[in-house]
Amino acid sequence: MTSPQLSNYLVSNRKRLALSQKEVAFLLGNKGGAKVSRYERFDREPSLETTLALEVIFQRSASELFGGLYQKIEQEVIERAKVLADQEKLNPRKRQIFTNIANKSLN
């Protein structure tokens, strides 16, 4: 039985570096560890600025840190790309681009 990816892997990365929530909060420019705790419990999603700061702290890409969230967004983008690729009036170059997005191939 498999389990879906977790929304984020902030706890494992923080513990890997033996950092406290308070220390991560300070590095993010926050006062206390409450926000970090909420991110770790999936109660709150960080802003883009915070996400980039987390990349810097943990030296991991955002798609790795937020595996489950990345996956959810990826699936939504793929579905939209399929809609665009299926349009009748579309130049071949753009159709190829949308098809590549839908198939997760390199553009």
Interacting residues toward other proteins by CB under 8 A:
1-6, 9, 11-12, 15-16, 18, 41-42, 63-64, 67, 70-71, 74, 104, 106
What's the CA gap between 54 and 10, in Å, rounded? 9
Rg (CA), the chain: 18
What's the CA gap between 15 and 23, in Å, rounded? 12
CB 87, min distance to other proteins, A: 26
CB 57, min distance to other proteins, A: 16
Closer residue to other proteins (CB): 11 or 53 = 11
Closer residue to other proteins (CB): 8 or 35 = 8
What's the CA gap between 107 and 98, in Å, rounded? 9
Identify the helix (H) or strand (E) that includes residue 72. helix 67-85
Closer residue to other proteins (CB): 53 or 62 = 62
